[in-house]
Amino acid sequence: MSRSSFLKPLRFWPFQIQRFTSKQHWEKPISGRDTGIQIYNCITREKVPLILPNNTYATWYTCGPTVYDSTHIGHVSCYVKLDIIQRILRQHFNVNLVTALNITDIDDKIIHRSKESGRDWRELSRFYENEFWSDLAQLNIQEPNIKLRVTEHIPRIIEFIKLIIEKGSAYKDSDGSVYFSVNKCENYGKLQKVNMQVEPDESTTGKNAAADFALWKAQKTENEPAWPSPWGAGRPGWHIECSTLASMVFGQRLDFHAGGLDLRFPHHENEEAQSCAYHNTNQWVNYWLHTGQLHIKGQPLKMSKSLKNTISVGAMLERYTADEFRMACALSNYRNAVDYSDAIMQTSRNTLKRLRTFKADCNAYLSGKKRVAHVDASEVLSGLQRAQQEIDACYKDDFDTASSVGVLLEQSNAVSRQINGGVSEIEHNLTASSCVDAIAAVDNFIRQHLHILGFSSLETSKAQVLSANFNLDAFVEDLLQSRHLIRERAVAGKNKELFGICDDLRNCLSQHGITIQDHSQGTSWQFSDSKK
């Protein structure tokens, strides 16, 4: 077909695109490191072996946000789930994972919000980008190795588009826009099973076919943000941005490409098509990962800014902790949708509480504060060995975090039952003391895997207490009220031992900068000028 006939408006010659879904369109890496992981493949519709061609490191690209508004928990749930998977790959499977994430800082939504608010689009996008990174930090999500802003790489994007045009897979419209020709991609539709016919449409003005998508958008008005290009002033289309930036960093093949399930089609489908055209290959990404969406319980649609059914990260953190939200995400497979509700968050909170109780039992036992119990060291160690094998199997089964949390709970419950199961007649003996190392080993195991999953320490720090609106005045008043009751009993019974306890408490508070004074009707207190 000649170039001139290719550029004819296709509304005069209908065609059909067949969406292929057969296994032949996924190419299994023929060599490299077999991680032992079975990962879900959206092309084959089944789990496949995760093989990393480069033994030195693996590449990972995540689609970042379009920064025109505040981040909501439906959005960040995707990043929490992906953060968990990245941590498992790095810390359990020892994969040197190199990650990149883009910031879409120019888009129709940004332009619209800029006009609506009267704020410069640059200032607007940078404000919400900074807020995005702050939200990720609050949720203990690791930042990517490489951050990429679209507006800082416009020349690269233009060159990427030029080569696709030169290869005959894209065309320029009369208004200066550039479109990708879907019918030039034999495997278009391989990521998601979408059975539909793509035919000319009278509404597809400027495009050869309805399914063709913009690589470059011509400037509509003079005051609209635009950059010069061979096709006229304009800006990149959404899909081409990620293809260019990922290719710029990682080249013609990616190990992982990740994002929410809603991005699989058309965004990731279009990325794969145009990248294959650019690199002259049949497969650009080896493994696509798509996270399930977050819904508000009782609402069938995903949480979305456009639907005005969002909950901000800040609002969620006023009621729940970052760990509780992370646990809610971990208690289901990353591909599953999550129904956000008070009930699921309470389940998450209770799960963490059980693990904290275990930690407290271990601390008391290992420090000698809990009297030596009848602990069977061989049973503890055999349980630990079994748990290590089971949790490895969970991670290898498409990163099954729900089951891995179950393994941790089962192991912690078993050990807690032994610690609290009874007290020996002899407080210290050789047999009992030999169990201390076994208990410590289990404690290490559970702490290690909670760390791998991205949970903060189960032991609440003073800083966490103070940051949780801890009321010091109320605490001291309650403490002094208890001391007052003890003092009343000391006076009534002329009990020197109770008087001594009251004096010890006074001295303890004084050492921490609090001076108390007893009166006939109670006790007052104040901060000392300096701590003793």
For every residue of 175-219, DSSP letters joined together read: TS-EEE-GGG-TTTT-SS---------TT-TT-SSTT-EEEEEE-
Say what percent of the chain tops pLDDT 70. Answer: 85
Q: Per-residue confidence at 530, pLDDT binned at 50, 70, 90?
A: very low
Which H helix or E strand runs over 300? none
| 254 and 157 part of one domain | yes
The answer to whether residues 456 and 475 belong to one domain is no
Same domain assignment for residues 484 and 370: no
Q: Tell me, what amino acid is at 258?
A: A
**153: Cα within 13 Å, side-chain hemisphere:** 22
Residue 498: CB atoms within 10 A of its CB come to 17
Q: Give a yes or no: residue 324 inside a domain.
A: no
The confidence band for 459, taking pLDDT boundaries of 50, 70 and 90, is low
- pTM of this structure: 0.84
Q: Which helix (H) or strand (E) holds 69?
A: none
CA distance between the termini of the chain: 91
Q: CB neighbours of 335 closer than 8 A, spacing ≥ 6? A: 40, 261, 290, 291, 292, 398
- Give 106's contacts (C-beta < 8 A, 6+ positions apart): 121, 125, 150, 151, 225, 235, 236
Cβ atoms within 10 Å, residue 313: 23
User: Which SS3 state, helix, strand or coil, does residue 378 take?
Assistant: helix
Q: Is the pLDDT of residue 470 over 80?
A: no
Examine the domain organization and report whether 39 and 20 are in the same domain.
yes
Long-range pairs for 115-121 at CB < 8 Å and ≥24 separation?
Answer: 121/225
Task: Determine how β-strand 285-291 pairs with β-strand 254-260.
Answer: parallel
Share of the chain above pLDDT 90, in %: 66
Q: Are residues 493 and 453 in the same domain?
A: no
Regarding whether 219 and 196 lie in a shared domain, the answer is: yes
Domain match, 416 and 491 both = no
- Pick from 418, 444, 462: which residue ends a domain? 462
In a domain, 335, yes or no: no
Residue 158 CA to residue 518 CA, distance in Å, equals 79
DSSP β-ladder status, 294-296 and 285-291: unpaired
Considering the domain boundaries, does residue 48 fall inside one? yes
Boundary of a domain, candidates 414, 443, 462: 462
Sign of CA dihedral 329, 331, 336, 337: negative
Is residue 211 within 8 A of residue 265, CB to CB? The reply is no
Largest CA distance in the chain: 110
Does residue 294 sit in the same domain as residue 439? no
How many angstroms separate the CA atoms of 390 and 289, rounded? 23
pLDDT tens-digit series, residues 36-52 = 999 999 999 999 999 99
CATH number at residue 74: 3.40.50.620
At residue 423, the pLDDT reads 53
Beta bridge partners of residue 214, listed in sequence order: 179
Q: Other CB atoms closer than 10 Å to residue 375's CB: what's the count? A: 21
Strands 146-149 and 514-519, bridge-based pairing: unpaired
Domain containing 221 equals 3-314
Look at residue 195 and tell me whether its pLDDT is greater than 80: no
Domain for residue 327, yes or no?
no
pLDDT band at 488 (very low <50, low <70, confident <90, very high): confident
Q: For residues 357 and 420, what is the distance between their CA atoms, to the nearest angstrom?
A: 12
Rounded CA-CA distance 408/400 in Å is 13
In a domain, 414, yes or no: yes
Nearest to 416 by CA among 369, 349, 364, 352: 364
**Do 275 and 387 share a domain, yes or no?**
no
* Domain assignment of residue 334, yes or no: no
Residue 117's pLDDT band, with cuts at 50, 70 and 90, is: very high
Q: Rounded to an integer, what distance in angstroms lies between the CA atom of residue 178 and that of residue 208?
A: 11
Domain boundary residue, one of 462, 491, 509:
462
pLDDT at 417 over 80: yes
Q: 299 to each of 252, 339, 341, how far by Cα in Å?
A: 41, 9, 11
Residue 337 in domain: no
What's the confidence (pLDDT) of residue 456?
A: 86
Q: Are 189 and 180 in contact (CB under 8 A)?
A: no
**249 shares a domain with 194:** yes
Q: Measuring CA to CA, which residue among 274, 228, 227 is closest to residue 252?
A: 274
Element spanning 412, H or E: helix 401-419
Contact (Cβ atoms closer than 8 angstroms) between residue 239 and residue 213: yes
Q: Which of 33-37, 303-307, 352-356, 447-451 has the lowest mean pLDDT?
A: 303-307
Query: Is residue 215 domain-resident?
Result: yes
466: confidence class by pLDDT, cuts 50, 70, 90: low
Domain count, the chain: 3
CB distance 355 to 409 below 8 Å = yes
Cα separation of 468 and 64, whole Å?
A: 31
Measured in whole angstroms, the distance separating CA 343 from the mean position of its chain's CA atoms is 21
Question: Contact at 8 Å (CB) between 327 and 397?
Answer: no
H-helix or E-strand containing 299? Answer: none
Residues 6+ apart with CB under 8 A from 107: 66, 68, 238
Amino acid at 529: D
Q: What is the DSSP string of 291-331?
A: EPPEEETT-SSBP-TTTT---BHHHHHHHS-HHHHHHHHHT
Residues 286 and 236 in one domain: yes
Is pLDDT at 508 greater than 60 in this prediction?
A: yes
407, 431: one domain: yes
Residue 247: predicted pLDDT: 98
Query: How far apart (Å, rounded) are the C-alpha atoms in residues 170 and 178?
Result: 7
pLDDT (mean) for 414-428: 70
Is residue 408 within 8 Å of 449, Cβ to Cβ? yes
